[in-house]
Amino acid sequence: MMQRITISIDDDLMEEIDNIIKQKNYQNRSEAIRDLTRTGIQNSSLVVEGNPPCVAALVYVYDHESRELSKRLTRTFHEQHDLTLASLHVHLDHGSCMEVSMLKGDAERVGQLAEQVITERGVRYGKLVMVPDNSGGHVHHHDDEHSHHD
């Protein structure tokens, strides 16, 4: 069963949705909005579902010339160092850098760290992808020395 709802969307957002409809060949606006809503729900459901442990990738692009931004970002990650597994830093051009930070911890804290980074002045793009961590906190090692072959 489907429910009919009425929503208000500003012209700029509707233009973006219409562009997505064209690019992905959706049959109509309703189908596109349902799909985009599902994606949004998946992206935010980890924080809603009782703050479970997660692993995540935080991808952001920033202007490395932005005043004190590198220092502020470094300080932010140092203050919450227990959440960071690894980071990759790439120079895109004269003024832009991209970083990918692999994070692990409670979904709420990971989300807060990501939000803190993404909202810094000089960060031009940011996206967090969270995945449930079902490892129970155990680190899994592959150890060929102890493998048994029949």
Tell me: is residue 94 an annotated ligand-binding position: no
Evaluate whether residue 94 is within a structural domain. yes
Domains of the chain: total: 2
Evaluate whether residue 67 is within a structural domain. yes
Q: Are 123 and 62 in contact (CB under 8 A)?
A: yes
Domain residues for 37?
Answer: 12-46
DSSP string, 81-128: GGGEEEEEEEE-SSSEEEEEEEEEEEHHHHHHHHHHHHTSTTEEEEEE
- What's the per-residue H, E or C state across 25-41? CCCCHHHHHHHHHHHHH
Evaluate whether residue 145 is within a structural domain. no
Evaluate whether residue 146 is within a structural domain. no
Task: Give the tens place of pLDDT for each residue, 71-104.
Answer: 999 999 999 999 999 999 999 998 899 999 999 9
Q: Are residues 98 and 127 in the same domain?
A: yes
Tell me: is residue 91 an annotated ligand-binding position: yes
Evaluate whether residue 140 is within a structural domain. no
What CATH number did the domain enclosing 106 receive?
3.30.70.1150
Tell me: is residue 141 an annotated ligand-binding position: no
Task: Give the tens place of pLDDT for each residue, 27-75.
Answer: 999 999 988 888 777 666 555 567 788 899 999 999 988 888 989 999 9
Tell me: is residue 97 an annotated ligand-binding position: yes
Q: How far apart are CA 26 and CA 14, in angstroms?
A: 14
